[in-house]
Structure 1
Amino acid sequence: MADVHNKQTRSYNMSQIKGKNTKPELMVRKFLYANGFRYRIHVKNLPGKPDIVLRKYRTIIDIRGCFWHSHSNCRFGDNVSTSSEKITSRRHSAIERDIIKMKKWKADGWKVIIVWADCQLEPRRKKSKVRERTLLKIINELKGENTCN
């Protein structure tokens, strides 16, 4: 399928995609803060500058986009309508970076909670039962009530 935009328009559109302070990140951060959890964001002395760091609980919350991080068994992560080598290589490099970061975090003794932005938080919906369950699950894991990932 041919791209509907010219090269400059596509480049501009891609440059507007944020990597920090995204809507899913803000959802999780606001929920944690409202429930009394205090955290740091994008801590520079940790590998990969994780999204949310809760030092008191020795926990990192990593919020990943389903498409760019190739979430398996997900309608947002598995669907690749373009066979572009550039996009495919970016997705593979994101997966490799995720594996390296996870190993380093766990080696340093951090507990890691991964939240998939598109299918677990559903940022496009105003209200979502899936989002509520996901956010409550994060709190349960932080309090030690739930140990499964």
Structure 2
Amino acid sequence: MKSLFRWSHEEGYLQMNPASKIKEPKVGKRIPKYLSEKEIELLREACHSAMEKAMFEFMFSTGCRIGEIVSLKKNDINLSNRSAIVKGRGDKVSEVYINIRIEIWLKRYIDNRNGTDPAIFVTEVYPYRMSVAQMIYNQTNLKSCRNK
């Protein structure tokens, strides 16, 4: 109603807005959705290659966004102290810590990976840095495997 009266007033249909002093109700905070332990394990099982497992574990355990993971380079990872430097939104640089699972899968993936691109996650056909769209495609395939 308030939007309708505001629009009518702005367009000149009404001389004054009768709803201008009405306060809008406060909208409750949205409770974030999360995965159950069973769903997490099903997603882990849906990962077949070392790249998929490393990617999933990195996203799940660190909470990094896809864009942050795509921009990761080999020299951003420090396996000796189990940390990684990620570049986020607005070029904000932060350090995330990785667990044993990530370390194992990253080592396996990087050791068996083709190509010399400095990026961590590269495409399989011709090894070059994976784009955000390609990463999303990979994650969508995991989710569809989970639903089967």
TM-score, normalised to structure 1, is: 0.28
**Higher normalized helix content (fraction of residues):** 2
